[in-house]
Chain A
Amino acid sequence: MFDEDHLVAISALQHWLYCPRQCALIHVERAWEENKFTAQGRVMHERAHEGPNESRPGIRITRGLPVRSLGLGLSGQCDVVEFHTDGRVVPVEYKRGKPKAHRADEVQLCAQALCLEEMLGGAIEGGCLYYGERRRRTPVNFDHELRDLVTVTASSVRECLTTGTTPPAEYEPRRCDACSLIELCQPRSLRFRRGAAAWFQQRLRAAMATDVNADPGDS
């Protein structure tokens, strides 16, 4: 059991699955850059959270519901939770764009469900992801595999946050070029990771070798 002071944000799981380094930059180093994508996402979330709670026949809808699980050591907020009169509880998460190759969105939704299960004391079988680009819901089934992935990811993230170490960058164009932290992360510079000392000495020697007759370089 974890205590309330040591809960990990559910959003960190999602960041971790996208890129462990991104997770550490945001949650350990507290770096945050907003780019076009995150700004769109934020606006969408604000809308999802701002809407009034409402009731439709057979469903009560709650927005921006804070949740936590002391068992998993997680806390977060659900965009939307539907409470059906037949007893089903269905979390719904709003996402910009379209379904992705990695499972970060499903893990986030499932983590919310695990929190709700602990707080409400019942089983939640599935939820929905609503993708802005598609304008329709994708159902997600909380099977064992997904639940295990949540648990494993939560413990990896916890270890990273406890030790406070940021994993080194590996530049992957598809992932990094869409990453809001690329300017802070400088993944390409890290190819010199262990060679900055050698680079500096070599470059300094080269600078010393130039003399007044050398070719004028750029500034």
Chain B
Amino acid sequence: MKKHLNTLFVTMEGAYLRKDGAAVEIRHDGESKLRVPLHNLEGIACFGWDIGASASLIAACAEAGVAISFHNPHGKFMAATRGYTSGNVLLRREQYRRADHEPAAVAIAANMLAAKLSNSRQVMMRAARDHGDKSATRAFALSQAADFLAVRIGLLGRATSLDSLRGIEGDAAAAYFAAFPHLLVNHDPAIAITGRSRRPPLDPVNALLSFLYSLLMHDCRSALESCGLDPQCGFLHRDRPGRPSLALDLMEEFRSFLADRVALTLFNRRQLTATDFRTEESGAVLLKDDSRKAVLVAWQERKQDEITHPFLDETVTVGMLPQLQARLLARHLRGDLDAYPAFLSK
């Protein structure tokens, strides 16, 4: 496993990526802009409509296990390149078998969702603690939502079908996003959020969350690919051609811990303000091109944070979490572990 989780982000329209020896070279307008050795990279994520990569670079990346993904300028995942399917066919067969067997799928999905809800709850309680005395209303609203989530976690443990899991999760997500405004401490009316909107995002918070989730998605998908799992075959998310359902499953436990917390930090420290977003005629809100950089920097910094992995009991960087959890999932599918120990933050 690579220790350095460095993702190269390419945001310059018109950039062209090519292989230069054992490095990737970024060219623009016939000029060389940057050269990075491939062995220093975990992934390359391109954000733009007009960014290209040479076939020889794509082949070298496939061989070196460096994921290249293409996103639109707002972060929406469009495509990723890969080499021949590698890894273990027996593992993938087992993955399909469990996905087809409802009780097995429920057991895995329930742990992923319990972790998701628990981690969201931790984010809320943390905020309630940090600012509790400043506003009693806030602390009250947050701890109420936290209690609501705690009850849903109990229900998850008793659910016997994927549909009931999805129902519980839907309620919990609605409650979480209803309380989300209380997590934002810099009361800027321009940065309000009213529930989660995705297609398209209708406010700056949603625009930023969508962008961060697409970064998280890139990491989860690469993590699954690199341990031989099929990112398209999920347990909770149903198969749909082209949809990386297992990557969406794996993302659940990290959404609040990784992405939401980065978003909150950026807004609460006023590193991002309403001027970093623009509104289209349709009401869709988008992160401005120049502001994406600040987000990418904050994201990379968050990935460098160190924590003690709750199950492995080892010091790891936050950026390693998708890799580690994907491996634990593979271990569970192989029968080494009697359950999938989803990531539970403290």
Interface residues of A (CB under 8 A from B): 28-31, 33, 164, 166, 168-169, 183-184, 186, 188-190, 192-197, 199-201, 203-204, 207-208, 210-214, 216-219
Contact = CB atoms under 8 A, between A and B. Distances in A.
Interface string B327-338: 110011010111
A199 B341 contact: yes
A200 B111 contact: yes
Given A203-B310, A212-B125, A219-B346, A192 B143 contact: no
Contact of A218 (B114, B115, B307): B307
Contacts of A204: 114-115, 118, 153, 344
B311 A196 contact: yes
B139 interface: yes
26 contacts: A29-B90, A30-B88, A33-B1, A169-B336, A188-B312, A188-B314, A189-B312, A193-B336, A196-B337, A196-B339, A196-B340, A197-B338, A197-B339, A200-B111, A200-B344, A201-B157, A207-B122, A210-B122, A211-B125, A212-B125, A212-B143, A214-B129, A216-B130, A218-B346, A219-B261, A219-B307
B312 A186 contact: yes
Interface string B99-129: 0000000000001001100100110011011
A190 B344 contact: no
B136 to A, nearest CB: 12
B342 interface: yes
A29 B228 contact: yes
8 smallest beta-carbon distances between A and B, as pairs: A197-B339, A217-B346, A183-B1, A196-B337, A196-B339, A29-B88, A212-B128, A164-B90
A212 B339 contact: no
Interface of B: 1, 86-88, 90-91, 111, 114-115, 118, 121-122, 125-126, 128-130, 132, 139, 142-143, 146, 150, 153, 157, 227-228, 257, 261, 305, 307-308, 310-314, 318, 327-328, 331-332, 334, 336-342, 344-346
A216 B339 contact: no
Contacts, number: 110
Contacts of B227: 31, 184
B262 to A, nearest CB: 12
Nearest to B123: A219
A29 B339 contact: no
A79 to B, nearest CB: 25
Given A196-B339, A219-B305, A29 B118 contact: no
Given A190-B336, A196-B340, A208-B118, A29 B305 contact: no
Contacts of B87: 29-31
A212 B228 contact: no
A200 B336 contact: no
Contact of A29 (B91, B121, B342): B91
A200 B139 contact: no
